[in-house]
């Protein structure tokens, strides 16, 4: 997964920066990504409820790892990278 600071874009060959379109937090699809620990989904539901006060939520989806003790499979990471413009992650203890 490519992680970039959307304010700066990301480097391409030669070190120059390629601009990246800013995320439209009112409309763009967002993944709520859980590490599958207890209460992570509930925490992310609270985030979704808060977002509902200023944007539609029909394109905010829950995505989670299969297991707390395992990394997210490549297919899950690719799904998030290919289908969402942003991800809010619940990964800390």
> Using the 8-state DSSP alphabet, how is residue 71 labeled?
P
pLDDT band with cut points at 50, 70 and 90 for residue 14: low
9 within domain boundaries: no
The predicted model scores a pTM of 0.72
65 — pLDDT class (breaks 50, 70, 90): confident
**pLDDT per residue as tens digits for the range 16-54:** 555 567 788 889 999 999 888 888 888 899 989 998 999
The better pLDDT of the pair 2, 21 is held by 21
Q: Which of 70, 76, 63, 7 is nearest to 33 (CA)?
A: 63
In a domain, 34, yes or no: yes
CA–CA gap between residue 74 and residue 83 (Å, rounded) = 14
Give the residue from 79, 28, 33, 80 showing the smallest Cα distance to 56: 28
**Residue 15 belongs to some domain of the structure:** no
User: Would you say 88 and 62 are in contact if contact means Cβ atoms under 8 Å apart?
Assistant: no
**Which domain, by its residues, includes 54?**
28-90
Domain count, the chain: 1
CA dist 20 and 10 (Å) reads 8
Q: Which helix (H) or strand (E) holds 66?
A: none
């Amino acid at each position: 997964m490519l992680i970039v600071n959307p304010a700066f874009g990301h480097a391409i060959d030669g070190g120059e920066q390629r601009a990246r379109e800013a995320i439209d937090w009112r409309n763009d699809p967002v993944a709520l990504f859980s590490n599958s620990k207890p209460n992570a989904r509930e925490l992310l539901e609270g985030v979704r409820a808060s977002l509902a006060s200023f944007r539609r939520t029909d394109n905010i989806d829950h995505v989670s790892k299969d297991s707390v003790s395992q990394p997210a499979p490549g297919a899950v990471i690719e799904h998030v990278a290919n289908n969402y413009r942003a991800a809010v992650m619940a990964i800390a203890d």
